[in-house]
Amino acid sequence: MSPPRKPREFLRFLLDAAIAASDPARVLPPHLPKPPKGRTIVIGAGKAAAAMAKAVEDHWRGEISGLVVTRYGYGLRCKRIEVVEASHPVPDAAGRAAAERILKSVEGLTRDDLVLCLISGGASALLALPAPGITLEDKRALTQQLLRCGASIFELNAVRKHLSAIKGGRLAAAAAPARVVTLAISDVPGDDPAVIGSGPTVADPSTFAEVRAILAKYKITPPAPIVRHLDAARDESPKPGDKRLAAARYVMIATPQAALQAAADAARKRGVTPIILGDALEGEARDVAIVHAGIAQAAALGHLRIGTAAPRLPLVLLSGGETTVTVTHDGRGGRNSVFVLALALALKGAAGIYGLACDTDGTDGTEDNAGAIVTPDTLARAAKRGVDLKALLAADDSWAAFDALDDLIVTGPTRTNVNDFRAILVLKEA
């Protein structure tokens, strides 16, 4: 096999293939249900919500109305479905108002009506309707603490569900006895419907006791109203078998694994051997990067084995999932740029190895880049420009490192989200 002549462009080509495979305009229409006898109400939340609503409008036969909420900058114009923008990952008043309107829109429906719910990554923050007695500021404060301490998405969403009047199956319960069909784009490891967007239309197996244990694990003392709410443990979320959810159906229309497979197919067509390491890799971004570097170096040395044979070079290692970052300083950067910076340091300028990590929604953390790229000369270029990569990693300032090297990847809003995408290209033997 001949190696790609332009490794940077090749890695970006694979990212684009993964994103295209998750485009709502492509993946949503085949899963639309039949129109009901009664009304059709379209609701939804997430970074892909506007694109999903547009896909529904473009292919729906019959009358529809509704409201979806998406992240600022991720909106699209729709004619019959209202699109509202709000804050992510920390909720704001716009998200709270939208969530309240969405909940009210499904009340008082009949068995002849259909609620079409469009859920994608980001819905947890965008559907911000606190439980009675809890303010939005209380939820914002606790969300920020959980994000900074490195809590997993499973832990974060379990907490969110027990502070909410709409998540954890409560939205579907409010819509009963109407039929509820949820079309979802997964952004979580394992594609668990109860975790995607904090599962507003599915039963919730987590409990108040588990939430209290999560906060104790990270030594977090939440605002007093939240403490009282969790201790009282009233209004538990709907559990499996709840009759109010009997008419709810859940359809997964895009997943991280499908995106990785699309990238693998694209690589194979270009003469590069793809190896998918997994779509649900978790852990601290720095640690995951070190493991990836070790696998790439083993492949370059001919030590990597699939069965009993060494895979042919060039090859690309593909992986997805959601890493975490425990933040101790006030630098800039998200988990993908942290991963790439740690990868660059671990590779130590190894010849013929290139890597990219991006969030498929187009935003890494709170910055305007999707991620970053590492090349064999990253360390040399940094040294020449006086950029101390180790110091910037220690300062949680990975964005500054790649901004100085012109190695940030900027896609703009993709209006989809199947979580992180990582690709490491190994061109030749060491």
pTM above 0.75, yes or no: yes
Residue 1 lies in a domain: no
The residues near 417 (Cβ < 8 Å, ≥ 6 apart) are: 22, 46, 47, 48, 120, 121, 122, 185, 187, 359, 360, 361
CATH number at residue 181: 3.40.50.10180
The residue assigned the tokens 């694209």 is 266
CATH number at residue 11: 3.40.1480.10
91: left (phi over 0), alpha (psi -120 to 50) or beta: beta
Tell whether 310 and 419 lie within a shared domain: yes
Total of domains in the chain: 2
Tell whether 225 and 276 lie within a shared domain: no
Residue 26 lies in a domain: no
Q: How confident is the model at residue 430, as a pLDDT?
A: 65
Could you read off the pLDDT tens digit of each residue along the chain, which spans 430 residues?
A: 456 789 999 999 999 999 999 999 999 999 999 999 999 999 999 999 999 999 999 999 999 999 999 999 999 999 999 999 999 988 899 999 999 999 999 999 999 999 999 999 999 999 999 999 999 999 889 988 998 888 888 899 899 999 999 999 999 999 999 999 999 999 988 899 999 999 999 999 999 999 999 999 999 999 999 999 999 999 899 999 999 999 999 999 999 999 999 999 999 999 999 999 999 999 999 999 999 999 999 999 999 998 888 899 999 999 999 898 988 888 899 999 999 999 999 999 999 999 999 999 999 988 899 999 999 999 999 999 999 999 999 999 999 999 999 999 999 999 999 999 999 999 987 6
Q: How confident is the model at residue 3, as a pLDDT?
A: 61
Q: How confident is the model at residue 189, as a pLDDT?
A: 84
Tell whether 213 and 180 lie within a shared domain: yes
Residue 24 lies in a domain: no
Tell whether 169 and 269 lie within a shared domain: no
Taken in order 297, 14, 53, 95, the sign of the CA dihedral is positive
Residue 199 lies in a domain: yes
Which residue among 254, 283, 316 closes a domain? 254
The residue assigned the tokens 């159906």 is 249
Which residue among 254, 284, 315 closes a domain? 254
Residue 267 lies in a domain: yes
Residue 197 lies in a domain: yes
Q: What is the DSSP letter of 348?
A: T
Residue 22 has φ and ψ, to the nearest 5°, of: -115, 10
Which residue among 254, 277, 306 closes a domain? 254
Residue 2 lies in a domain: no
Q: How confident is the model at residue 308, as a pLDDT?
A: 85
Tell whether 75 and 220 lie within a shared domain: yes
Tell whether 38 and 138 lie within a shared domain: yes
Tell whether 42 and 118 lie within a shared domain: yes
Tell whether 98 and 192 lie within a shared domain: yes
Angle at the Cα of 169 from the Cα atoms of 19 and 255, rounded to 5 degrees: 15
Tell whether 65 and 88 lie within a shared domain: yes
The residues near 104 (Cβ < 8 Å, ≥ 6 apart) are: none
What residues are paired with 69 via a beta bridge? 45, 84
Q: How confident is the model at residue 4, as a pLDDT?
A: 77
* Calpha distance 127→117 (Å, rounded): 13
* Calpha distance 346→360 (Å, rounded): 24
Domain that holds residue 315: 7-19+257-426
Tell whether 82 and 200 lie within a shared domain: yes
* Calpha distance 243→235 (Å, rounded): 16
Tell whether 218 and 318 lie within a shared domain: no
Residue 59 lies in a domain: yes
Q: How confident is the model at residue 67, as a pLDDT?
A: 98
Tell whether 142 and 220 lie within a shared domain: yes
